[in-house]
Copies of this chain bind each other. A is one copy, B any other.
Amino acid sequence: MANIKTVAKHAGVSVATVSRFLNNKDYVSQEAKAAIERAIKELNYRPNQVARSLTTKQTNIIGLIVPDITNPFFPQLARAVEDTALSLGYTVVLCNSDEQEEKEKLYIERLRQTYVAGFIVASNLISEQSYLELNIPVVALDRKDNSQLPYVSTNNFEAAKLGSAYLIERGATNLICLSGPQNAGTFAERAKGFEAAMTDNVSYRIVEGDLRYQYAFESTKEALAQDRTIDGVFACSDYAALGALKAIQEAGLRVPEDVQVVGYDGIELGDMVLPGLTTVAQPVYGLGETATRMLISKLEDKEIQQTRVVLEASLCVRGTTK
C-alpha cells in the first residue's frame, strides 16, 4: 500500500503539500493539485487512518451504545445511525451493553483507547456524569429529558398520556402500566404520562421492573393471575407490549375484546404480529438520524448547536385496541 511519501515523490512535491491537499488546508496551487490527484489515482493511494489518528488524536469512529440489541427497537435505531454516519464519513461501532454496567464500561474504555470521536448513548446504565467526564462529545438518545447531555427524544410524557387515554376512551377501566426502572430512562416520564391520563372512574397500577420481553411476559402473567378483570395494558416499550400480549393470550383472554394493549416505540414488528399492536409510535429513523447529525455537528464544531431536540411521537392504532 502506497503511503504519503511515495505520493509526494510521484507528484514531485513534499509530503506536507500532499497532506494539505488531503485535508483541504491552506492553499495548494492548481498544478500541485493536479499532480497529486494523478499520483493518488495511479498509486491507488488511501490515507492511513491509523497514522492520522495517532497524530491528531482523533478518529471518525462513533460509538453507539444500546442496552439490548435483541430488542428490535435498537436495530432499527442502529440502522438509522449507521446510515447517517456512513454517509457523512463516519463509522459506527455498535456497543451492546446487554444491560450490564461492566460491559458498557469495557466498551467505553476500549473505544477510548482508540480515540473514538464521540458517543451516542441510548442506554441508561451509566450516569451522565461518567459520560461528561469522558470529555468527548456525547449525545443522549431516547434517554431522560432532564439530561445535562445534549439529547434527542420524543415527548414521552405527552405521548404516553395520549396512548393511555386512548385505552380509557375505548372502554378500559382496570389498567396496568408496564414501566422500566424509575430511576433512569424515559420510562419514568412515560409512566407519569400514563398516570396523568387516568380518570376518576378507572383503577390502575404501575408495575415497575425490567422491560425486556421475558420480564414483561412474566409480570403480566402474574398481574393477570391476581386480577382477571384487568382490561387494559399500557407498556412503555413495544417489546414489553409483545410480552404482555403473549401472556394475555396464553391466559386464554382475547385481545382486544377482553384486554386491550398499547405499546410505545413503533417498531416494525408491531405490524407483524396478529392482532397488530396499537402503539405510540416514535419516529425511529428520525431519532437516530437527528442524534447522529447532532453529534457530528459537535465533532466538527459546526455553528448550529441545538442541543435538545424533542420529536413528536404519535398514536398508531392497530388491532390490540377496540
Contacts and interface: CB of A to CB of B under 8 A. Distances in A.
A246 B272 CA distance: 6
A79 B50 contact: no
Given A72-B72, A82-B96, A113 B54 contact: no
Nearest to A250: B274
Interface stretch (A102-110, A180-188, A197-205): A102-110
Given A69-B75, A70-B72, A98-B79, A46 B272 contact: no
A96 B70 contact: no
A147 interface: no
Interface in A243-271: 243, 245-246, 249-250, 268-269
A213 interface: yes
Contact of A50 (B54, B243, B250): B54
Given A96-B79, A103-B86, A273-B273, A50 B48 contact: no
Nearest to A255: B274
B272 A70 contact: no
Interface in A23-56: 46-51, 53-54
A21 interface: no
Instruction: Give chain A's interface residue range (CB within 8 Å of chain B).
Output: 35 or more
B274 A246 contact: yes
A46 B113 contact: yes
Contacts of A51: 54
A114 B109 CA distance: 18
A93 interface: yes
Nearest to A53: B50
B48 A113 contact: yes
Nearest to A70: B75
Contacts of A273: 272-274
A-B pairs with the 4 shortest C-beta distances?
A94-B94, A69-B75, A49-B113, A50-B53
23 contacts: A48-B54, A50-B54, A50-B114, A54-B54, A69-B75, A70-B76, A70-B79, A70-B268, A72-B72, A78-B96, A79-B96, A83-B98, A86-B103, A86-B107, A91-B93, A91-B107, A91-B110, A91-B111, A93-B94, A213-B268, A213-B272, A269-B269, A273-B273
